[in-house]
């Protein structure tokens, strides 16, 4: 859900969360699955990322996961 290397435009936490919600909705799972069964990570390893982007990518993933934990239906 989070790009492994810095994209031209940094995605917002809302965009990362919305991408996960779109997949979950398309597959027909309830959004509670986001909180209970889904982990948010960078799309691939961060070996090719700059240190700055690696920190940003982990932060985006963490914040998206927090949004799922709080209220997955609000996303």
Whether residue 68 contacts residue 35, with contact meaning beta carbons closer than 8 Å, is answered with: yes
pLDDT at 1 > cutoff 90: no
Encode pLDDT of 7-66 as tens digits: 999 999 999 999 989 999 999 999 999 889 988 999 889 999 999 999 999 999 999 999
Q: What pLDDT, on a 0 to 100 scale, did the predictor assign at position 38?
A: 87
Provide the 8-state DSSP code for 2.
Answer: B
- Residues linked to residue 42 through DSSP beta bridges, in sequence order: 2
């Amino acid at each position: 859900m989070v790009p492994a290397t810095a994209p031209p435009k940094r995605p917002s936490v809302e965009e990362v969360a919305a991408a996960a919600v779109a997949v979950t909705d398309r597959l027909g799972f309830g959004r509670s699955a986001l909180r209970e069964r889904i982990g948010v990570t960078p799309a691939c390893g961060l070996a090719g990322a700059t240190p700055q982007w690696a920190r940003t990518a982990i932060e985006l993933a963490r914040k998206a996961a927090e949004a799922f934990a709080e209220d997955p239906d609000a996303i």
